[in-house]
């Protein structure tokens, strides 16, 4: 097991080298997107429309609710809800997914095929992760409320 301090720009290169049990701290840009946003992103891909962010080398944090209710923090949500959509995003260049729970075989195959990585966010550690979020900006699908796509600037 190894520890890596990575900039999100390094994920595309480093993802294939990461192994189960490694620990990673990230600094840079991470996007939030849950199932409703994934459905819209895939629909945009199907229509040939512009996507809310460049998938190539990107990291998506399956977080919710964002923004958090007063007194609460942004924490990871169950990743399996994104499994129907994840292979398409991985095939389009997504390098990293962050969430909790297991992924189905289709997602595992797409990660192997594309050299991507799934980082498991430890449940109950939301406060520690939230402290690393330095900026949150809604960038797409504002009508989805807490499930809109957000750009997070994270540090360590």
User: Which residues participate in catalysis according to the annotation?
Assistant: 38
Contact predicate 123/100, CB 8 Å: yes
| Of 122, 119, 115, residue with least CA distance to 90 | 115
| Of 148, 149, 126, residue with least CA distance to 54 | 149
């Amino acid at each position: 097991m190894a520890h890596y301090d990575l900039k999100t720009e390094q994920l595309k290169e480093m993802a294939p080298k990461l192994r189960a049990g490694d620990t990673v701290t990230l600094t840079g840009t991470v996007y939030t997107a849950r199932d409703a946003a994934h459905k819209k992103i895939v629909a945009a891909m199907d229509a040939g429309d512009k996507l809310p962010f460049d998938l190539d080398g990107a990291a998506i944090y399956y977080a919710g609710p964002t923004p958090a209710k007063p007194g609460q923090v942004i924490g990871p949500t169950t990743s399996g809800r994104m499994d129907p959509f994840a292979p398409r995003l991985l095939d389009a260049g997504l390098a990293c997914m962050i969430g909790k729970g297991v992924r189905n075989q289709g997602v595992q195959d797409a990660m192997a095929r594309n050299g991507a990585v799934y980082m498991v966010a430890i449940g109950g550690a939301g406060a520690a992760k939230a402290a690393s979020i330095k900026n949150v900006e809604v960038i797409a699908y504002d009508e989805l409320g807490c499930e809109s796509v957000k750009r997070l600037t994270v540090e360590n």
